[in-house]
Amino acid sequence: MAKAPPDGWEGILDADEEILWQGAPDGGVDFSGFWSVQTLFALFFTGFSLFWITMAYMMTGQMTDTVGRMVNLVFPLFGLPFLLVGLHMLLGRFWSDARRRRNSYYTLTNRAAYIGVQSGAKRSLDRYAIGPDTRLTLEDGDLGNIWFATRVSTMPLHAPSMHRSRSRIGGATQTVDPVGFERLSNARQIYGMMRKVQIDRANAEGDDDV
């Protein structure tokens, strides 16, 4: 007889699916991926925004009448949104990523890996089946990563990206992000559990073929 699912998991787990482990990623800011194509683009974008604001202020600073002083104060502010975008691409994205991880939780069952994200009042839960053909990649360390899927997205060709790989399709780039359990202190242990799930699934499929 199958066990009753834990509270909150009713209608989500399969009849013979059991939770093996639950945890959450480290929520600290991680600058390990700072040097990238996106960083170089962000440096140029931020620098140009600062240059534009400075030049706009200097060019309108020669105007001494009332209207001129207003222009001198207001006109440079048009460059402020671009400066903020550049600063986010340069540094803010690391805090955004840390906030995403602080609101994430992981679950491993004998059939799949689940990634849940809490965003305000909204919650999402993605399921990634683990089978014999699932490619598991362990990035070991004090805080390790386990990748087991990929997410493909399309963005304009000029858009910067930190993604692992990208290819051009028409007038856009297709970017591929790894998906998995990130920044775990016990990543090697969880990786071993996932390998066992793979082996058990392979044995189960072999028995079904007999």
Average pLDDT over residues 97-123: 91
More confident residue, 39 or 159: 39
- CB neighbourhood size of 196 (10 A): 12
- Residue 205: the pLDDT is 77
Sequence letter at residue 75: F
Q: Is the pLDDT of residue 65 over 80?
A: no
Residue 111: CB atoms within 10 Å: 19
Give the pLDDT of residue 97. 83
pLDDT beyond 90 at 94:
no
Q: Mean pLDDT, to the nearest integer, of 83-101?
A: 83
Mean pLDDT is lowest, of 49-53, 104-108, 187-191, for 49-53
| pLDDT value for 46 | 86
Share of the chain above pLDDT 70, in %: 81
pTM of the model: 0.71
Residue 25 binned pLDDT confidence (cut-offs 50, 70, 90): very high
Region of poorest pLDDT, from 60-74, 78-92, 159-173: 159-173
pLDDT of residue 143: 93
Backbone CA torsion sign across 11, 17, 148, 8: positive
How high is the mean pLDDT of the chain? 82
Domain ranges of the chain: 19-209
Q: What is the pLDDT of residues 148-175, one digit of tens each?
A: 999 887 654 444 444 445 554 454 566 7
- DSSP lists the bridge partners of residue 145 as 139
Q: Residue 190: which of 154, 149, 145 has the closest Cα? A: 145
Average pLDDT over residues 189-200: 96
- Within the chain, residue ranges assigned H as helices are 37-60, 66-74, 80-87, 93-102, 187-209
> For the residues of 45-93, what is the DSSP string, one character each?
HHHHHHHHHHHHHHHHTT--SHHHHHHHHHGGGGGHHHHHHHHIIIIIH
The answer to whether the beta carbons of residues 105 and 124 sit under 8 Å apart is no
CA 16/CA 3 separation, integer angstroms:
8
Of residues 161 and 25, more confidence is placed in: 25
The arithmetic mean of pLDDT across residues 25-29, rounded, is: 89
3-state secondary structure of 198: helix
